[in-house]
Amino acid sequence: MATKRIVIDPVTRIEGHLRVEAVVEGNKITDAISSGTIFRGLEIILQNRDPRDAWAFAQRICGVCTHVHALASIRAVEDALQITIPKNANLIRNIMSATQDIQDHAVHFYHLHGFDWIDVVSALKADPAQTSAIAMSISKWPLSSTSYFTEIQNKIKKLVESGQLGIFANAYWGHPAYKLPPEVNLLGVAHYLEALNWQKEIVKIHAVFGGKNPHPNYTVGGVPSAINLHSHGVINMERLNLVKSKIDEAKTFIEQVLIPDILAIAGFYKNELWGGGIRNYMSYGDYPQTSINEPDSFLVPRGVVLDGDLTRVYEVDLKDPEQIQEFVDHSWFRYDNPDAGLHPWDGKTEPQYDGPKPPYQYLDENKGYSWSKSPRWQGKPMEVGPLARFVVAYAKGDEEIRHLVDSALQKLDLPLEALFSTLGRTLARALETQHRVNLLEKFYKDLISNIKAGDTATFNNEKWNPETWPAEAQGVGFCEAPRGSLGHWVKIKDGKIANYQAVVPTTWNASPRDAKKQLGAYEASIIDTPLANPEQPLEVLRTIHSFDPCIACACHLLDPQGHELNVVKAY
Amino acid sequence: MSNVKVLGVGNLIRQDEGLGIHLLQALQNKLPPVTPSGLELLDGGTGGLVLLDYVESADKLLILDAVAAGRKPGEIVIWQEEEIPYFIASKMTAHQVGLAEVLHWAKFRGKYPQEIVVVGIQPKCLDWGTELSEEVRNSLPAALEEVLNILKKWGVKL
């Protein structure tokens, strides 16, 4: 059968620059490559700096999860220097992480991924009275009247009639792969707008504990938040009450809007269960109840599940040089021994571009084709992220996760196997917000009772002075970021950073193939996807977006001339 | 007096990409220790949607940023109103939900500030690093003068 190669570059509604090339036979994808087309050189900039400053640089890797890179960085330095943190600091960090997860997941679902499932233009055909009836049947959320949905519909109408779709431009409206009736599409658009309002409230929690948002403040040895319930200008009862009110709002939004929406939408797509990909899942684990050095206390468990086999969970050791390694066979980097993998402590970031000269038509998968390296666990490619965390927790018998998964699948009348799909990935991310808001409530309660018991410590200064440090030390810091397992590895020599390597979630997921020709998670997940219209590869975007890509990036400039948009081109 | 907000954006570890933040810091150093009433400053960094609230709550908004205006490196550019691109446009833009999209959102939601001015500088180098290029560094004092003039015009007592 004749094959053709389609190119999506850049993939839009993600963080950073990603290119996907897919080989199509008839209406099915038979091969795919994923290429990170921007170079991330953070490691180079950190050499020889004070390790206590590294977080402030690391958090600028990305503009979306400004929390997680800072957290992984301070944890790496604390691990290297064997610094323990006070109980309040651990709780506040957990609150920051859960807040990040919730905000990021909701923004991803409504503002980055939603329009892969929701057809905005179709919403114009909806009967607002029916939308209202549907809304009331799935939730007690108060914004559900006919007049409310009519108003939303008029807003969209005005935008479409103006011919300036703006944020709604460049999509495949009317594509046959959209399955929702107009009334549900209208509901989706209404909640898209509401989510915009709500997401700016939840991040106020970051501003309370981190002093500001975006890019809150952190410190090695604890958190930079002084606590005094009865004082001004510090974390006091008024500030803590604000946090509590934001947690309550988040819980209501998640339970009355986000979860009912995802279940309603998934119901219309439940027969489309492709996109599972490699089915190897990894979680470093996070949310320690005691200390990050005690994985048994993690409320998001650690482990690896291979080939979708839930009967066995493998241990993960981030310090074992044989377990996590990065390969560069198909990347634009240079190693002394190009075929060997390097553990991040001994990792190298030496760019060596040998790709085609831009502008080019196709990349060559037999050579280097990405700025992303190929990380492997025990030589195997892994998927990381909400689905991976859910699969590992489910396999480990985590009761809360099992309940969340089982009850959602029961409502959808789907088997457990259905999780291993594009839809399953999106479902897991939504359900994870419920898990995290429950954690938020718990950590908040623990924090209040600890403070009321008289413990206001948030910082351990015992090893703040570099004179207390060993001449040489190495550490690893990790967390479960919204997009998956994030690790920072640091080597410290004479008080300065001697080597620094970050292996970010998207490096795992967007990884190019390796010397053994094992595909990365994106690549494998696209294969076998049927396309309703190969000229408009909506189904590919849906699967790629289901991973919530973040091609760790970070520059933005205003451009006065180019009203040319970042178009999704399919050749 | 109306509520005036200054928003510096950009990435401090991408050399000139961070010039908006450098300019914001220069402004802060010029201000008295207690920020004049009615004036607020924010280091927006590489933030996207999280900046929406700040933008929407301003009567008058002054944005400091690196701008791909096709000028000579270091040249200062001032945009007002309809000159401000309100949707993401640049291929150099890595953030899909960037500041331009935030402005678009504010407009769509009917919460656009009464007045927005962008003071930008054409960058030279967007490579990894924390130092500004010489051209941009040399332009900072003049850009700061522009910023102060705009704030004075808006009634901020400096």
Q: Could you write out the three-class secondary structure of A273-338?
A: CCCCCCCCEEECCEEECCCCCCHHHEEECCEEECCCCCCCCECCCCCCCCCEEEECCCECECCCCC
Flag if B17 and A159 touch (Cβ within 8 Å). no
CA distance A343 to A316: 14
Section B27-51 average pLDDT: 89
Cβ neighbours of residue A245 under 8 Å, at least 6 residues apart?
Answer: none
Q: Are A77 and A477 in contact (CB under 8 A)?
A: yes
The rounded distance, in Å, linking the Cα atoms of A231 and B53 is 27
CA dist., res. A344 & res. A330, Å (int): 18
Number of domains in chain B: 1
CB A555 to CB B48 under 8 A? no
- The percent of residues above 90 in pLDDT, for chain B, comes to 52
Q: What tokens were used for A235?
A: 């974390």
8 Å CB contact between B42 and B8:
yes
What is the spatial distance between Cα A425 and Cα A315, in angstroms, rounded to a whole number?
23
User: d(Cα B136, Cα A258) in Å, to the nearest integer?
Assistant: 45
Q: Look at residue A560 in the predicted model and tell me its pLDDT.
A: 40
Of A476, A472, A463, the C-alpha closest to A497 is: A472
| Distance between CA atoms of residues B2 and A397, nearest Å | 57
Question: CA of A447, closest CA in chain B: separation in Å?
Answer: 26
**B149 close to B55: Cβ distance less than 8 angstroms:** no
Best A40, A167, A556, A568 residue to mutate vs chain B (most B CBs within 10 Å): A556
* A-B contacts at Cβ under 8 angstroms: 167
CA distance A228 to A225: 10
Distance from CA of A185 to the nearest CA of B (A): 19
- pLDDT by 10s per residue, chain A, length 571: 577 887 777 665 555 557 788 888 888 888 887 876 555 567 778 999 999 999 998 888 765 677 999 999 999 999 999 999 999 999 999 999 999 999 999 999 998 899 999 999 999 999 999 999 999 999 999 999 999 999 999 988 887 887 766 667 667 889 999 999 999 999 999 999 999 889 889 999 999 999 888 889 999 999 999 999 989 889 999 999 999 999 999 999 999 999 999 999 999 999 999 999 999 999 999 999 999 999 999 999 999 999 999 999 999 999 999 999 999 888 888 889 888 999 999 888 788 888 888 778 888 888 888 888 899 999 999 999 999 999 999 999 999 999 999 999 999 999 999 999 999 999 999 999 999 999 999 999 999 999 999 999 999 999 999 999 999 999 999 999 999 999 999 999 999 999 998 888 888 998 899 989 999 999 999 998 899 988 888 898 899 889 987 643 322 334 443 322 222 332 2
> What pLDDT is stored for residue B107 in this prediction?
81
A152 → chain B, closest CA residue: B109
The answer to whether position B75 is within a domain reads: yes
* B158 within some domain: no
User: What pLDDT, on a 0 to 100 scale, did the predictor assign at position B1?
Assistant: 61
Please judge whether B118 and A558 are an interchain contact, meaning their C-beta atoms are less than 8 angstroms apart.
yes
Separation of alpha carbons B76 and B139, rounded Å: 7
Beta-carbon separation of B87 and A212 below 8 A = no
Specify whether the CB–CB gap between A96 and A216 falls below 8 A: yes
CA distance B20 to B120: 7
Determine whether the interchain pair B88/A62 forms a contact, defined as Cβ–Cβ distance below 8 Å: no
Cβ within 8 Å, pair A559-B48:
no
Q: Which domain holds residue B127?
A: 4-153
Those residues whose C-beta lies under 8 Å from the C-beta of residue A353, and which sit 6 or more positions away, are: A332, A368
A549, A552, A557, A562: CA torsion to nearest 10: -40
CB-CB under 8 Å, A214 with B92:
no
Residue among A16, A199, A562 whose CB faces B94 most closely: A16
CATH classification at residue B54: 3.40.50.1450
Residues in chain A with CB shorter than 8 Å from the CB of B122 are none
Residues of A in contact with B67 (CB under 8 A): 557-560
Nearest to A75 by CA among A99, A94, A101: A94
pLDDT of residue A299: 98
Q: Does a structural domain hold residue B144?
A: yes
Q: Which residue of B has its CA nearest to A565?
A: B89
Residue A385, by phi and psi: left (phi above 0), alpha (psi -120 to 50) or beta? Answer: left
Whether the upstream peptide bond of residue A182 has omega within 30° of 0, thus cis, is: no
A559–B43: do the CB atoms touch at under 8 Å?
Answer: no
C-alpha pair distances (Å), B138 with each of A68, A485, B26, B34, B135 = 35, 42, 13, 28, 5
Helix, strand, coil shares of chain A as percentages rounded to 5? 45, 15, 40
Residue of chain B minimizing CA distance to A215:
B45
Q: How confident is the model at residue A10, as a pLDDT?
A: 61
Interchain CB distance below 8 Å, A215 and B49 = no
CB contact under 8 A, A41 and B128: yes
Q: Are A303 and A392 contacting, i.e. CB atoms less than 8 angstroms apart? A: yes
Q: Give the amino acid at A237.
A: M
Q: Contact B85/A38, CB-based, under 8 Å?
A: no
Instruction: Name residues whose C-beta falls within 8 Å of residue B90's C-beta, 6 or more positions apart in sequence.
Output: A556, A557, A558, A559, A562, B68
Q: Which helix (H) or strand (E) holds A503?
A: strand A496-503
**Inter-chain contact B14–A554, Cβ cutoff 8 Å?**
yes
Distance between CA atoms of residues A150 and A154, nearest Å: 6
**Which H or E run contains B93?**
none
Contact residues on chain B for A564, CB-CB shorter than 8 A: 89
Cα nearest neighbour of A67 on chain B: B47
- The neighbour count for residue A307, using CB atoms within 10 Å, is 10
Q: List chain A residues with CB under 8 Å of B120.
A: 558
Extents of the domains making up chain A: 98-169+179-213+231-275
Rounded CA separation A82/A200 (Å): 36
Comparing alpha-carbon positions, the chain B residue that sits nearest to A561 is B69
Query: What is the phi-psi region of residue A515: left when phi exceeds 0, alpha when psi lies from -120 to 50, beta otherwise?
Result: alpha
CA distance B22 to chain A (A): 15
Query: Where is pLDDT greater, at A534 or B122?
Result: B122
B85 is a domain residue: yes
Distance CA A91, CA A284 (A): 19
CA pair distance A190, A130, nearest whole angstrom: 14
pLDDT of amino acid B90: 37
Give the separation between CA A388 and CA A302, rounded to whole angstroms.
10
B66 contacts in chain A (CB < 8 Å): 557-558
In angstroms, the Cα distances linking A243 to A116, A255, A256, A375, B104 are: 33, 18, 20, 38, 29
Compare all CA atoms of chain B with the CA of A155 and give the residue at the minimum distance. B108
